[in-house]
């Protein structure tokens, strides 16, 4: 544990947890919530739950999300729902450049926010500024990216999935499909989460696994790069992508290359659900991003209002992985249509 952390007790005996229940013992009444666009506040989010009458607080959520990726819209909706319930002003900001993301965390510190929720896709770049937040007395939680680093940096809690384990689960599942040669497509080189996913697939898949790096911010380039690889190597019979938009683009690449390879992916969106229903995508690994956003905000509120540590401050709160395929897609579809799965 990072000795610079001023928030977590030095020693506690705790049990692993995989879910967090929203505290209902605190008084509930009316509130409003906003959340920021790329550095600014936005309108209140709707929430069906009761609303807290606890003192107004401000929480900054700072992510490494690239613009236009619907996965992060789902995380943000979860964060907004928790903020609306908890009488929290949510300031959301994002930048896929790690240095710029660190600057956004510094901006939150300068604004003297009550708590920070941050992703650690490139943890070394965030280490110093996270320490500054803790030294300023601002509690910090991690989510989505950084499971292997959150305790080292003294964060209160972490919400997400073990990317290595999820990759291994996908690789094992592929072994039952009869495919022999997998192409794992990484849209952001050096992103710890993404690299761990493909490494996990490679570890358990019994066939051959190739890694292909693409520029995830340029979808036409993604399409042409995958098409070129499929055209060059006809033995590839499976494509694994690490996000729903890239899976849907890979399907187009199959057509362009005249390939009969199949496509599996990590993460969901409404269009991906439709593709699973139609059979153009085999299955997806769901890490429940809405839940990640919701719990990250709600945990900071619980800590400030009631001194609670999600996961006891020692164990991550796991939100995945789970597989969505034709057998269970109908149960997920109604939520995906609302943009919450």
Q: Per residue in 208-247, pLDDT tens? A: 999 999 999 999 999 999 999 999 999 999 999 999 999 9
Please, which pLDDT band fits residue 14 given cuts at 50, 70 and 90? very low
Domains 28-161+288-320 and 163-286 share a fold: yes
Give the DSSP letter string of 93-141. EE-SSHHHHHHHHHHHHHTT-SEEEE--SSHHHHHHHHHHHHHTT--EE
Return d(Cα 81, Cα 45) in angstroms, integer: 6
Q: What pLDDT was estimated at residue 260? A: 96
Sign of the dihedral through C-alpha 41, 43, 46, 50: positive
Please, which pLDDT band fits residue 19 given cuts at 50, 70 and 90? very low
Domains of the chain, residue spans: 28-161+288-320, 163-286
Q: Where are the beta strands (DSSP E) in 188-314?
A: 208-213, 238-241, 262-266, 284-286
Look up tokens 């209902």; give the residue. 24
Class of domain 28-161+288-320 (CATH, top level): alpha beta
Return d(Cα 288, Cα 318) in angstroms, integer: 10
Q: Per residue in 31-51, pLDDT tens? A: 333 334 444 444 334 444 467
CB 87 within 8 A of CB 51: yes
Q: Per residue in 278-300, pLDDT tens? A: 999 999 999 999 999 999 999 99
**What is the rounded end-to-end Cα distance, in angstroms, of the chain?**
33
Q: What pLDDT was estimated at residue 50? A: 64
The answer to which of 51-55, 146-150, 262-266, 327-331 has the lowest mean pLDDT is 51-55
51 vs 270, residue with greater confidence: 270
CATH 3.40.50.2300 fits 163-286, yes or no: yes
């Amino acid at each position: 544990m990072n000795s610079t952390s001023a928030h977590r007790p030095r020693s506690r005996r705790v049990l692993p947890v995989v879910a967090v229940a929203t505290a209902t013992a605190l008084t509930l009444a009316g509130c409003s919530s906003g959340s920021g666009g790329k550095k600014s506040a936005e309108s209140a989010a709707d929430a069906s739950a009761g609303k807290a009458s606890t003192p107004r607080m401000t929480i900054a959520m700072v992510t490494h999300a690239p613009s236009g990726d619907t996965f992060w819209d789902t995380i943000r909706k979860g964060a907004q729902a928790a903020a609306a319930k908890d009488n929290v002003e949510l300031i959301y900001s994002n930048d896929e450049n790690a240095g710029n993301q660190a600057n956004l965390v510094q901006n939150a510190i300068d604004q003297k926010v009550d708590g920070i929720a941050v992703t650690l896709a490139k943890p070394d770049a965030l280490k110093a500024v996270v320490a500054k937040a803790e030294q300023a007395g601002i509690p910090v939680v991690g989510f989505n990216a950084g499971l292997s680093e959150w305790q080292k940096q003294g964060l209160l809690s972490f919400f997400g999935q073990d990317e290595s384990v999820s990759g291994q689960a996908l690789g094992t599942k592929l072994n039952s499909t009869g495919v022999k040669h997998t192409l794992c497509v990484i849209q952001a080189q050096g992103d710890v989460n993404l690299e761990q996913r493909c490494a996990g697939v490679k570890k358990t898949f019994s066939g051959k696994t190739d890694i292909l790096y693409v520029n995830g911010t340029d979808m036409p380039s993604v399409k042409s790069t995958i098409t070129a690889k499929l055209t060059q190597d006809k033995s590839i019979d499976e494509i694994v992508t690490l996000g729903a938009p890239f899976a849907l683009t890979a399907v187009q690449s199959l057509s362009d290359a005249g390939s009969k390879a199949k496509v599996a992916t990590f993460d969901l969106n409404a269009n991906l659900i439709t593709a699973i229903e139609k059979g153009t995508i085999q299955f997806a690994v769901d890490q429940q991003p809405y839940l990640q956003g919701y719990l990250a905000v709600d945990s900071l509120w619980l800590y400030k209002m009631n001194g609670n540590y999600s996961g006891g401050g020692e164990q991550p709160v796991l939100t995945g992985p789970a597989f969505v395929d034709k057998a269970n897609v109908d149960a997920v579809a109604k939520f995906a249509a609302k943009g919450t799965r």
